[in-house]
């Protein structure tokens, strides 16, 4: 390769600066709402499934934990980041990342009705995709390895989520989606697949390790735990040496409460990140 071509190749893979990344992110968001509804829904189904894979890996890595373990939580967070890697690299529509469409709304290039309709399609698709993978995982006996350790991990994680109060859920939802949207944002600066994976792994691992709340993740993790509680065989409970009564907060209505208030928090968190970067890099200023 000649010296000139080598220089061109180097420039081609050079990461974007923050202002350049903002423009790339704006184009990325703008292109979303131009897709046909059926395409958006299919991609949303895939995103829900991909995040469910991350939830499964989180439960597997957390299995066997007897007390709080920072390193194990970090490892579980890195495992969960696989879900967002699939969303970003393979391409899918994730509600939490799409909350940054508030940028387009602020710029008045997107009307409120279209934004809410888009969010509704994506949210519904994420939920159905997440439930599909969750059901298959339990039918496949995914909760049984380690004499039920994976199932116990799901039960403990879900119980902790549904027993939180409203303020805690909204607050944890805000913080979680600030990190998720930052992860999506920084991937716009990376020009290579390894760069995108490295960029998003840290923020995703941080929100999971800190025990924050992500609505789409909870669409799979809590239903998997509910199915274990409702349908697991007596042998499972004997293996983990407890019973379903040990998880009183884990109910269907507890799941709905969690999903409602975490979704509110996630929407606020995404809007905060979107507003901040619109103001810093995308706002039209007087000449």
What are the extents of the domains in the chain?
A: 16-282
Q: Residue 6's pLDDT is what?
A: 46
Q: Residue 10's pLDDT is what?
A: 45
Specify the CATH class of 16-282 in words.
mainly alpha
Q: Residue 19's pLDDT is what?
A: 85
Q: pTM, whole model, 2 decimals?
A: 0.91
Q: Residue 185's pLDDT is what?
A: 93
pLDDT tens digits in sequence order for the chain, 287 residues long: 455 554 444 445 578 888 888 888 889 899 999 999 999 999 999 999 999 999 999 999 988 766 666 677 788 888 889 999 999 999 999 999 999 999 999 998 999 999 999 999 999 999 999 999 999 999 999 999 999 999 999 999 999 999 999 999 999 999 999 999 999 999 998 989 999 999 999 999 999 989 999 999 999 999 999 999 999 999 999 999 999 999 999 999 999 999 999 999 999 999 999 999 999 998 876 65
> From CA 61, how far away is CA 164, in angstroms rounded?
23
Q: Residue 21's pLDDT is what?
A: 85
Query: What is the torsion angle, in degrees rounded to the nearest 10, for the CA atoms of residue 191, residue 198, residue 189 and residue 9?
Result: -30
Q: Residue 74's pLDDT is what?
A: 82
Return the structure tokens found at 150: 């994976």
Contacts of 20 by beta carbon, 8 Å cutoff, 6+ apart: 189
């Amino acid at each position: 390769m000649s010296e000139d071509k080598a220089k061109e190749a180097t420039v081609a893979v050079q990461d974007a600066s923050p202002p350049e990344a903002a423009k790339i992110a704006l184009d990325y968001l703008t292109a979303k709402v131009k897709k046909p509804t059926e395409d958006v829904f299919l991609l949303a189904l895939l995103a829900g499934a991909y995040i469910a894979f991350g939830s499964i890996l989180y439960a597997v890595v957390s299995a066997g934990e007897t007390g709080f373990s920072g390193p194990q939580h970090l490892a579980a967070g890195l495992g969960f980041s696989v879900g967002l890697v699939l969303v970003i690299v393979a391409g899918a529509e994730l509600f939490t990342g799409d909350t940054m469409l508030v940028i387009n709304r602020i710029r008045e290039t997107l009307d409120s009705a279209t934004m809410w309709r888009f969010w509704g399609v994506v949210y519904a698709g994420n939920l159905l995709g997440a439930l599909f993978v969750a059901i298959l995982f339990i039918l496949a006996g995914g909760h049984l390895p380690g004499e039920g350790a994976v199932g116990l991990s799901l039960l403990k994680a879900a119980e902790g989520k549904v027993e939180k109060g409203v303020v805690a859920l909204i607050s944890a939802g805000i913080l979680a989606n600030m990190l998720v949207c930052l992860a999506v944002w920084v991937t716009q600066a990376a020009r290579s697949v390894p760069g995108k994976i490295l960029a998003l792994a840290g923020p995703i691992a941080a929100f999971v390790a800190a025990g924050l709340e992500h609505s789409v993740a909870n669409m799979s993790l809590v239903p998997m735990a509910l199915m274990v509680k409702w349908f697991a065989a007596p042998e499972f409970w004997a293996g983990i040496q407890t019973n379903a009564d040990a998880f009183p907060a884990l109910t269907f209505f507890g799941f709905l409460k969690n999903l409602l208030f975490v979704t509110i928090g996630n929407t606020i968190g995404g809007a905060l990140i979107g507003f901040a970067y619109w103001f810093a890099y995308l706002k039209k200023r007087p000449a």
